[in-house]
Structure 1
Amino acid sequence: MTTGTGACPRCGRTPVSLDGALPWCAGCDWNLDAYDADRRPPEFGWSWVDRRTHRLATRLTRRQYAALVGRPLESTGRSLAGAVTVGMSLLLLLGVVGVAVAGVWLLVAYPFPNLAVVGGVALIALAVALRPRFGRLDPDLEVLTPEEAPELHALIREVATAVDAPLPHLVGVDDDINAYATSVGLRRRRVLGLGLPLWGALDGPARVALLGHELGHFVNGDIRRGPVTQPALTMLGNAADLFRPRGDTQADGLLAMVGEWLGRLVSWTLSRLLFAGHVVLVATALRDSQRAEYLADEMAARAAGTAGATRLIDVLLRTESVAMVVRNAVRGGQGPATWRVGMNRSLDGAAERLPLERQLTIREDASLFASHPPAGLRHRMLTARSPWQPAVELTEERAARIDAELARHYERAGRALSWSA
């Protein structure tokens, strides 16, 4: 941590900085809406566009936080962004159905053979390419049945009861420093995926909070998981890719060259217009997704207590530390018990930096395309409310039994993470 020069123009405190970031005020958040070009990867590729979209994202993120912090999250209902996304998805679905119907009509309306058949086949192929996708089970996820991991499934049932969430149809583990809840297939089967490096590095309250957060996605109205809203998130992007010009061709003759150039110009223009619509729809939908993340955090606090939920956010803020701790332990032949000890030490050693790291995320994680609010605002949202007491407690003995069920999977995940360094 470094201190800047001068004084904050709002409150008079001395600005601070971390790791070369633009200085800001730790007391009043002054200058956290500044665009730090040296620390942000480009999103659109033009600095003037990136600067303005970052300013817009920061304003929308702060406005959403201010609107939610003083009210019960459970009663927010469908937001305007969510309603717009659902409405546009339905319109896009109707459009695809219309394209398919038009294609079929061209096939049957005229005697065969005729040129209309070509148009009909093209329209049907376009409708198939733009059809909604319902997702598939990740092939890297190792599904665990209740017979294989009874203690883990029992804990999931307890947390689901505590947050009034339905049970997942499938529970699995993989090698990522992450966790997720999703629905797949036409029947929308609920899937809970736990990344073992993350799970193994969490203490008992944070593990309960992780389950509460992920199970909360089954009931918090997260727009990314609804089958009706998938067209708004994917269809225009797929269409833009279909119409994007591919490579260069060598036409013979002036007329052919002009025709090819005009065709590519029309194709490029249509592709850019479709992509612009895709960007607008995704940015709109992700406003509602960020609201759902706040509610999932609230459900994590209901299950594990506010302390467990905020600790989980701090661990997720430092995933590089998780990777380092797990790699070092695995290379020394140590399992998840050592991972947890190492992670606890890492958090304790970063106690002075953590508040500033959280605060800096308000600037660095602000984006029109972020599915999660900045970790600093998520932490503030939880601590600004009346504290929750744990509804589910995971003792060391029970955590050890769960780890024993996952021993074989821990070994594989640890090796994969160690080799990836």
Structure 2
Amino acid sequence: MITTTDTAACPTCGAATVTVFDAPPWCAACEWNLDTFDRQRRAPEFGWVWVDRWTHRVAYRLTRGQFTGLVGRALGSDRWSGAAVAVAVASVVLTAGVLAMAATGVWLTVAFGFPSLAAVPGVALIGLAVALRPRFGRIDPDLEVLTRDRAPELFGLVDEVAAAVGTPAPDVIGVDADLNAYAGAVGVRRRRVLCLGLPWWGSLDAQERVALLGHELGHFGNGDPRRMLLTQPAFTTLGSAADLVRPVDTVRGGGLLEMAGSALAKVFQWTLSRLLFGVHLVLLAVAQRDAQRAEYRADEMSARAAGTDAATRLLDIALRAESVALAVRREARAGHGPQRWRAAVAEAHDAAADDLPLLRQLSVRDDTSLFASHPPAGLRHRMLVEGPRHDPAVVLTEERSARIDAEMAREYERVRRDLSWSD
């Protein structure tokens, strides 16, 4: 998979350049040309190549700058960054605007008696305020919620890891069929939810599972703006407003006057929609700087819980998520459960060991974006390696890990069947 170019050496340090998956070559020693924009390996963000190239250059500079500023020092969440303050202020302003809109609508509806022409814009403002109200999420209907009586070993492990990283335990623990895991807060009361995708959980060894829990539970105490009640409106309100005013075809037929009026309305709506969406993107890009810092902090908590070695292994496995998915699906179709999933993933991971250093570097090019909520996996790995080394605070034995799997045998079998029939 890895080739060394024969035509040129690095113009900066003279070392041979390398490439992976036919990507534009770079220097593994000094990372010359790693910041290049690779149109073939990136999904379009704006659709114009020159814009995507420019935003990638800006994002690369911001991402590397953030890494340089954080590496080697404590990543505590007790300090509000400029990005966090901007997002919080924007959320307060947006929420106040929605409340003012609702209050004005109520006043117009009731202040002039009924019936009244003022009630028409009043009702419209109330409807708009309802549509733009802050959304605080809800539990995913596909989440299969577990109880402590149903899975005491799993709940006990989660409690231990939460205590080790100094965060509250989740209020809800559930599983689903995704190759993923997440932690979040839902509702106005911000109920803490932990979801373990069984294909992902089942493919990890014992200590990697502790690392996964340490990372996800870390989001309950790392200052992540995506999970804070105060900052939620900044992520949704302007995007919803842009979608509401987006022009749609409502006029069919009609005379010249109706067609002209419809065209003017579309121009106005399109301009307003793009303006709102543009501000939404700017706000999102600012917020994601703090979200990426929170991911680094969650990785640090992962290392504190499971040890640095397990935390970095988890990042390397995530780096090759497509290979993990293929291995798990292959074993599921053969009728095998999580024990074989882990063996297959471990074999694939060992086979790719020599490739991992370059794959980490390539991730810095591929995964850099103004709108990415996670830093590139290669920088996350480097942040742990170059930071303080941690021994595991929680050690999960293979026997206990097997008991946890036994508690969820029914859920594993359902997921195995789903994977067997998936494309």
> What TM-score does the superposition give when structure 1 sets the normalisation length?
0.98
**Per-residue deviation at 1:32?**
1.2
* Paired letter, 1:114: S
Question: Which runs of structure 2 are paired with 1:156-171 in the superposition (5 Å)?
Answer: 156-171=158-173
Q: Is the 8 A contact 1:99 1:124 kept in 2?
A: yes
1:3 aligns with 4
Distance in 2, Cα, partners of 1:113 & 1:27: 76
Does structure 1 residue 51 correspond to structure 2 residue 56? no
Query: Cα–Cα, structure 1 residues 180 and 254, in superposed 2: closer, same or farther, change >3 Å?
Result: same
The secondary structure found in structure 2 opposite 1:180 is strand
Distance in 2, Cα, partners of 1:48 & 1:260: 33
Point out where structure 2 has 5 or more consecutive residues left out of the alignment. Answer: none
* Cα RMSD (Å): 1.1
Distance in 1, Cα, partners of 2:131 & 2:396: 47
2:414 aligns with 412
**Per-residue deviation at 1:115?**
1.2
* Paired letter, 1:2: T
1:302 aligns with 304
2:267 aligns with 265
Match of 1:369 among 368, 371, 375: 371
Distance in 2, Cα, partners of 1:293 & 1:386: 17
1:225-263 CA-to-partner distances (Å, cap 9, x unmatched) read: 112211110100000000000136335222222211111
* Paired letter, 1:147: D
The secondary structure found in structure 2 opposite 1:190 is strand
**Per-residue deviation at 1:308?**
0.4
* Paired letter, 1:3: T
2:74 aligns with 72
1:136 aligns with 138
Match of 1:178 among 177, 180, 186: 180
Q: Is the 8 A contact 2:214 2:302 kept in 1?
A: yes
Distance in 2, Cα, partners of 1:29 & 1:79: 29
The secondary structure found in structure 2 opposite 1:6 is strand
The secondary structure found in structure 2 opposite 1:227 is coil
- Per mean C-alpha deviation after superposition, the further-off stretch among 203-212 and 103-112 is 103-112
Q: Is the 8 A contact 1:326 1:414 kept in 2?
A: no
Does structure 1 residue 89 correspond to structure 2 residue 87? no
2:236 aligns with 234
* Paired letter, 1:407: A
Does structure 1 residue 393 correspond to structure 2 residue 395? yes
Q: Is the 8 A contact 1:181 1:217 kept in 2?
A: yes
Question: Which runs of structure 2 are paired with 1:283-302 in the superposition (5 Å)?
Answer: 283-302=285-304
The secondary structure found in structure 2 opposite 1:131 is coil
Distance in 2, Cα, partners of 1:419 & 1:77: 48
**Per-residue deviation at 1:386?**
2.2
The ranges of structure 1 where at least 4 consecutive aligned residues each deviate by more than 4 angstroms after the TM superposition are none
The secondary structure found in structure 2 opposite 1:123 is helix
Distance in 2, Cα, partners of 1:236 & 1:31: 37
Distance in 1, Cα, partners of 2:121 & 2:82: 39
The secondary structure found in structure 2 opposite 1:15 is strand
**Per-residue deviation at 1:112?**
1.9
Distance in 2, Cα, partners of 1:76 & 1:30: 36
Distance in 1, Cα, partners of 2:268 & 2:181: 43
Q: How many residue pairs are counted as aligned between the two chains?
A: 421
1:44-71 CA-to-partner distances (Å, cap 9, x unmatched) read: 0111110100101101100100110032
Does structure 1 residue 201 correspond to structure 2 residue 210? no
* Paired letter, 1:288: D
Match of 1:347 among 328, 346, 349: 349
Q: Is the 8 A contact 1:251 1:260 kept in 2?
A: no
Distance in 1, Cα, partners of 2:172 & 2:35: 41
- Per mean C-alpha deviation after superposition, the further-off stretch among 242-251 and 357-366 is 242-251
**Per-residue deviation at 1:75?**
5.8
2:38 aligns with 36
Q: Is the 8 A contact 1:237 1:274 kept in 2?
A: yes
2:21 aligns with 19
The secondary structure found in structure 2 opposite 1:201 is coil
- Per mean C-alpha deviation after superposition, the further-off stretch among 334-343 and 149-158 is 334-343
Q: Is the 8 A contact 1:323 1:417 kept in 2?
A: no
* Paired letter, 1:155: L
Give % identity.
Answer: 62
Q: Is the 8 A contact 2:333 2:419 kept in 1?
A: no
1:252-283 CA-to-partner distances (Å, cap 9, x unmatched) read: 22222221111111111111100001100111
> What TM-score does the superposition give when structure 2 sets the normalisation length?
0.98
The secondary structure found in structure 2 opposite 1:276 is helix
Distance in 2, Cα, partners of 1:338 & 1:305: 25
1:127 aligns with 129
